[in-house]
Amino acid sequence: MSGLEQLHIDTVVIGAGVVGLAVARRLAAEGQDVLVVESGDHFGEGMSSRNSEVIHGGLYYPTGSLKARLCVEGRKMLYAHCRRFRISHRRTGKWVIAMDEQQHSALASIQQQAGANGVPLSWHEGAGLSRALPDVTASAALFSAETGIIDSHGFMLSLLAELESHGGQLVCRTPVIGAGSADDWHSLTLGGEMPCILHARRVVNAAGLAAVAIARHWAGFPSHHCPPQYMARGCYFSYSGRHPFSSLIYPVPEPGGLGIHLTLDLAGALRFGPDVEWIETEDYHVDPARAQEFADSVRRWWPALDSKRLQPAYAGIRTKLTGPGEPAADFQILDASAHGVPGLVQLFGIESPGLTASLAIADRVAQVLA
């Protein structure tokens, strides 16, 4: 490897998902010479293309957590960005439903937490709820007017266009196969068709599922700052034909996720998911037999669901810093104040609401690198 070409640049961002592109675009706008390196064939092929495409309100996250603050900040920034760049999106609103009175206390806790996060929710029950959701079996529900859906691919295209307009570049099929830091410089050994060693003053590791693995083999980075990592696969099923819904519907959350919920795409088509399945290796297979499990779950609150109209759609994997049965971990945005390596930011556990929070995460990274 010592015979590889040696290159120098201001800033490198590892990973061209929505967060990596948002960070790169923000840093390039400050005048930095920014290169994004991506191991895949195209940008946004990992977690960023395998989610619900929901703009989250910020209901559930612990008060003061990065997830709570950056979701609320990022949501406002994301809606403004969509208006400015004409990115397809829709403020659909979201219902969080209790199926019986035993879940009312959980619903009340969600309303209290959302209020603490600055997200007002309205409570509905009785005749008013029946009029609003005539096809749904629920004893009470909360409505979030701030929740919406977005064309995530269009959003990432806009970030890439802005990055390039500021002189930044994206290079795909370029995996990071080695990394180290010393004397205020960072050296990345890059594979692919044109392997080289890239030296940079600033590096942001936004590699998603691969972020922790890259950091574990980073010479000069204190290994005790690498958290454990778990993977939770979530499968989605599409629903063909007509349906009565125009807003998103979520049951009360379950451990590991927000439960099998109803989402819409921008064409109005219905899909359900994700479920939660803890896995050991990266695998995006959707077992068609899981359709019955989905149908049984959804029929608890939509009895008219026709299971024959369910079709496997896709699966996503959430990068988790805590395992089954443990409280969900917060985002980790680790800069020199945490790990002592100047000019290096490690982004760990950036799962949902990472899409919603992406622009706010980018601002936070720019602040710590200033």
Q: What pLDDT digit, counting tens, does each position of 160-213 carry?
A: 999 999 999 999 999 999 999 999 999 999 999 989 999 999 999 999 999 999
Under DSSP, the state recorded for 330 is: P
The residues spanned by each domain of the chain are 5-50+153-227+329-369, 91-146+229-320
pLDDT above 60: residue 351 = yes
pLDDT above 70: residue 344 = yes
pLDDT above 80: residue 250 = yes
- What gap in Å lies between CA 322 and CA 325, rounded to an integer? 8
- For residues 322 and 230, the answer to whether their CB atoms sit within 8 Å is yes
- The token pair at 199 is 């030296």
Pick the CATH number of 5-50+153-227+329-369 from 2.40.100.10, 3.50.50.60, 1.10.3720.10, 3.40.50.300: 3.50.50.60
- For residues 88 and 121, the answer to whether their CB atoms sit within 8 Å is no
The residue-averaged pLDDT of 356-367 equals 98
pLDDT-derived band of residue 1, with 50, 70 and 90 as boundaries? very low
Residue 368's H or E segment, with its range, is helix 354-369
pLDDT attached to residue 255: 57
The residue-averaged pLDDT of 258-273 equals 91
Taking only the tens place, the pLDDT of each residue in 23-67 is 999 999 999 999 999 999 999 998 898 999 999 999 999 999 999
pLDDT attached to residue 39: 97
C-alpha to C-alpha distances, 281 to 255, 278, 284, nearest whole angstrom: 20, 10, 10
Question: Taking Cα atoms as reference points, which of 307, 359, 268, 288 lies closest to residue 76?
Answer: 359
The residue-averaged pLDDT of 271-278 equals 93
Taking only the tens place, the pLDDT of each residue in 323-332 is 998 999 999 9
- The token pair at 223 is 């290994």
pLDDT attached to residue 260: 87
C-alpha to C-alpha distances, 23 to 90, 316, 351, nearest whole angstrom: 24, 22, 16
Superfamily of domain 91-146+229-320: D-Amino Acid Oxidase, subunit A, domain 2 (3.30.9.10)
pLDDT attached to residue 3: 79
Instruction: Give the whole-number percent of the chain exceeding pLDDT 70.
Output: 98
The residue-averaged pLDDT of 117-128 equals 96
pLDDT-derived band of residue 258, with 50, 70 and 90 as boundaries? low
pLDDT above 80: residue 306 = yes
∠ at Cα 360 (355, 363), nearest 5°? Answer: 135
pLDDT attached to residue 253: 78
- The token pair at 275 is 């479920």
Average confidence score pLDDT of the chain:
95
Residue 157's H or E segment, with its range, is helix 152-165
